[in-house]
Structure 1
Amino acid sequence: MSSLLIYDLETSGLMILDQVLQFAAIRLDRHTLEEIERYNVEVAWRRDMVPSVDAYLVHQLGVDRPGIVAESVAVVEMHQALNQPGTMSGGYNTLGFDDEMLRFAFYRTLLPPYTHQYQNQCGRFDLLPMVVFYYLYAPDTLIWPKKDNGLPSFKLEDFNRENQWVEGRSHDAMNDVEATVAMLRHLRLNKPMWDYLLGYFDKQTDQKRVNDLMAQEGRYAGVGMMIHLRFGQGRHYQAPVLHLGPHHVYKNQLVFLRLDEPLGDLSDDTIMPLMVKKKLGEPGFVLPYVDRYTKNLPHDTKMIVDANLEMLANADISEFVQHCRHQMYDSIEGVDLDAMLYQQSFLSKDETDWCTSFHLAQNKGALLEQHSNPVLQEQALRYLWRFFPEQIPGALQSAAEVSIKSFVHQGLDFKGQVKQTPQQALSRIDAVAVEADKGLQEGMMQLKNHAQTILEEIEAP
């Protein structure tokens, strides 16, 4: 990998059904960290994208902005940037949010959603889990911001303020990218640690480090320390874990069992909350269970770890291990087409080639019946309705409208987040506008007009 692409997104909301409104990135030479090029893409609100006034209050990206381009054009530019050969793309909490938003944007616009993770010597990384590691083991690297309660803050805007890196408003994508680049350069001053942590984002290196846990002798064979922000400050963002092996269904995942709580009788009620699935090449970082990394563990926790390991050593746990390695995510009912990426099989080569031809075609509608995949056809219909409505064949016009109405007017629920309908968006805008700053009133009126246009153009079924 020859370059690091540091990027940030601002979006119309927090759901994968939302769209990217702003994409900014700076490409750095991986070895010198010198800037090579930068991207700054302003994306137009899609004609069926119901606005969130709460998101607007954060990023202040209204409907009428200079230099905006259609999502169909913008997403292609983003895809090309991340897929430039030799690119390692990432930013601050990109694996926790931005990367997934991009995957679904690629999927909706009939572009390969995963190639930036592995093809043409490309890969991904994320500064947030690296920063947590520096906080634990190299705290002199940065000035650490504090919350009002005295606990550390891991928000980028707080780091930027405390370390005085970049002037300008947070939640402007380019300002946030420049702050992230400044953070990266500080972290890279400790090059041995930087290189070691970057290795965790390589699947083979990550797998080897987990395998090395099994080479440990004695009672701690297979035991590691997992570093992850989700474990919380009270546990110093780390938890002792036992490696149970690869998942039998999700081939890129490893299964671990947390050891910092009593395992009791190994019942499902006790075990399932303590089971951790980890994707190779992604957080958390798994370290050896040695004094260097266990020094922050309370004595009581170490006693619980030892008691759990003794119990496991004296029990037949083969059935329990197999159960954990087969445990699957709950299925999600009623998923909208735009959110079905994880429910779909990978496209065949013929289907991928068709998508390429579709993007290149002058008359895209003429290609709609050249394949037998009904999901792909409906995706293409939505794409045409959103960006090239004049190209929809007359016989398919009704099907396109039905599909779009389904997207717009349902309060779609995905992973506990509910998409607003136009009516709900209008009510929320009116409620917020009453007490909003006058400087934001014009933008909120733009959102209101946009939601009203959607309601009028796409009549409820």
Structure 2
Amino acid sequence: MKNIEQPTFYFFDYETFGISPPLDRPCQFAGVRTDQYFSIIGKPLLIYCQPPNDYLPQPEACLITGITPQTAVSKGLSEPEFIAKIHEQLSVPRTCAIGYNNIQFDDEVTRYTLYRNFFDPYTWSWQNGNSRWDLLDAMRACYALRPEGIIWPNNAQGFISFKLEHLSVANDIEHSHAHDAMADVFATIELAKKLRKAQPRLFNYLYTHRHKNKLIPLIDVVSMKPLVHVSSIFGTDRGNTSWIVPVAWHPINKNAVIAVDLGQDLSPLFELDIKSLRKRLYTRHTDLTPNELPIPLNLIYINKCPVLAEARNLHPENAGRLGIDRQQCLKNLNKLKEKVNISEKCTALYIDKPEYKTSRDVDFALYSGFFSPSDRLTMDIIRQTKPEGLSALDIKAADERIEPLLFRYRARNFPSTLTNSEQKQWQIHRMYYFETHLPSYRKKLEELTYLYRNDRKKNQILESVYLYVESLVSHKFRE
């Protein structure tokens, strides 16, 4: 590869067998490296991934992508081979990994897949001058702050659609095969070119401020300096935008700042005690009664490339277009500054974590903690060991996740390495999974088959999914 020491973008996209990165599995990956001017350098990467035999691909996902489990099995690599190729590309020094909604989705797919296969889940995104960025929030920011030069399509509800396929068509970008990973990657590259050409200053600002060390100077919790924040948390009816004011750093997570949404009614924040505030804060908005106002607090994670800028960058005409009442926001800001202990009150809300039900399944335990240096060395040894040597490894790991991860790693990818007793253990695991999931899964498959009974193409996909699943559950063991 030429000029690998120069900063490059690596545009990438996954297609998956479901919408949950912890639960579901990738089926296709596409990646293309470009220079700083979005000219393609190097050879595009398009690979498939074989699903494991203890997993049911979601039929809705297959209908969207057109990728059946049989296609993934016949064209795909094993998951360790699949993620190794991806890791190699993402780890090239001075790479900025970029996608469309990758911060919320694709990056999580990467992390969970790396985790299951004994790679470090995080270093690819920060080591050796590497970084990540998300074009979706950049497009949202462009619409909110500097909309000129881009055509903004509406969805069926009358709001601006930020779907990649809709923006591509509206702006004359070739995207005839939406939800094919490579087609999505090329469309993302062209949309990035369009954004930089239409709004070069905004583009450069957002790109520069993808780093948390550029965002921290904007955040002044002492003087409560207001900022404009663009995020999906504000909803499409507000143009995904609001004025916010950071009031305190999170007492536990050093990468999170507590911010007040100045576009909402602040009275619950002032009137409720800590216990009542915490209860309402962790209640879904849809579960609140008509008389219960939502708590106007958000956490902004500075390591997730949030869009933040000085409040003056939301011009009056754009605020009006988005339905943001600047005068009311300023009144709320003044009220907030009059409350002497508001920062302490907000901090107290986050000192104690809410009691969530945690899964005992090791596949979902990525965020249960960081691996120690010694355990990371153990993981390197596992990853570098040839399949025939895995069963002989004498693993002494401090982290209790490593042993069950290793068993599943062998069972899914190298079943011939299992002993008879381990094979029985794996079949018990599979039996439990299928008994738990199959009844609702089959019902869903029947409903979709009836819904699309007049659509030949969709019926063929659903038939393939059905045959795959029946084959999967009818065999006690599938290599």
Task: Tell me the alpha carbon deviations over residues 248-296 of structure 1, each in whole angstroms, 9 at most, x when there is no partner.
Answer: 1112111111122232234255683321111113253222223754551
Work out the CA distance in 2 between the residues paired with 1:303 and 1:168: 45
SS in 1 for 2:374: helix
Q: Which residue of 1 aligns with 2:449?
A: 433
SS in 2 for 1:37: coil
Task: Tell me the alpha carbon deviations over residues 19-46 of structure 1, each in whole angstroms, 9 at most, x when there is no partner.
Answer: 0001011111124534333110112222
Work out the CA distance in 2 between the residues paired with 1:183 and 1:277: 29
Work out the CA distance in 2 between the residues paired with 1:72 and 1:395: 24
Q: Which residue of 2 aligns with 1:237?
A: 240
**1:130-169 matches, cutoff 5 A:** 130-169=138-177
Task: Tell me the alpha carbon deviations over residues 217-260 of structure 1, each in whole angstroms, 9 at most, x when there is no partner.
Answer: xxxx4222211133124323222222122211112111111122
Q: Could you say if the C-alpha distance between residues 307 and 445 of structure 1 is closer, same or farther in structure 2, counting changes exceeding 3 Å?
A: closer
Structure 2 residue identity aligned to 1:23: F
Q: How far did residue 359 of structure 1 move? A: 1.7
Tell me which of 331, 343, 351 is aligned to 2:375: 351
Structure 2 residue identity aligned to 1:262: D
Q: Which residue of 2 aligns with 1:36?
A: 42
Structure 1 residue identity aligned to 2:215: D
CA contact (8 A) 1:12 1:52 kept: yes
Q: Which residue of 2 aligns with 1:210?
A: 219
Tell me which of 447, 450, 458 is aligned to 2:468: 450
Find out whether 1:128 has 2:144 as its counterpart.
Answer: no
**1:294-373 matches, cutoff 5 A:** 295=317, 296=319, 302-303=327-328, 305-310=330-335, 312-326=337-351, 328-343=353-368, 345-362=369-386, 363-367=389-393, 369-373=395-399
Q: Which residue of 1 aligns with 2:291?
A: none
Structure 2 residue identity aligned to 1:73: E
Q: Could you say if the C-alpha distance between residues 202 and 409 of structure 1 is closer, same or farther in structure 2, counting changes exceeding 3 Å?
A: farther
Q: Could you say if the C-alpha distance between residues 167 and 333 of structure 1 is closer, same or farther in structure 2, counting changes exceeding 3 Å?
A: closer
Which range is displaced more, 304-313 or 86-95?
Answer: 304-313
Q: How far did residue 379 of structure 1 move? A: 0.5
Task: Tell me the alpha carbon deviations over residues 319-347 of structure 1, each in whole angstroms, 9 at most, x when there is no partner.
Answer: 4133145253542333422111112x211
**1:153-302 matches, cutoff 5 A:** 153-189=161-197, 190-211=199-220, 221-264=224-267, 265-267=270-272, 268=274, 269=276, 272=281, 273-290=295-312, 292-293=314-315, 295=317, 296=319, 302=327
Q: Which residue of 1 aligns with 2:290?
A: none
Q: How far did residue 306 of structure 1 move? A: 1.5
Task: Tell me the alpha carbon deviations over residues 406-450 of structure 1, each in whole angstroms, 9 at most, x when there is no partner.
Answer: 55544xxxxxxxxxx133323322332233422233432332122
Q: How far did residue 152 of structure 1 move? A: 1.1
Q: Could you say if the C-alpha distance between residues 174 and 307 of structure 1 is closer, same or farther in structure 2, counting changes exceeding 3 Å?
A: closer
Find out whether 1:7 has 2:18 as its counterpart.
Answer: no
Find out whether 1:19 has 2:43 as its counterpart.
Answer: no
CA contact (8 A) 1:368 1:380 kept: no
CA contact (8 A) 1:24 1:177 kept: yes
- Listed as ranges, the gaps of 5+ residues in structure 1 are 216-220, 411-420
What percentage of residue pairs aligned between the two structures are identical? 21
Which range is displaced more, 121-130 or 56-65?
Answer: 56-65
Q: Which residue of 2 aligns with 1:418?
A: none
Q: How far did residue 57 of structure 1 move? A: 0.8
| TM-score (structure 1 length as normaliser) | 0.88
Work out the CA distance in 1 between the residues paired with 2:406 and 2:173: 44
Q: Could you say if the C-alpha distance between residues 246 and 393 of structure 1 is closer, same or farther in structure 2, counting changes exceeding 3 Å?
A: farther
- Listed as ranges, the gaps of 5+ residues in structure 2 are 1-5, 282-294
Structure 2 residue identity aligned to 1:229: S
Give the length in aligned residue pairs: 442
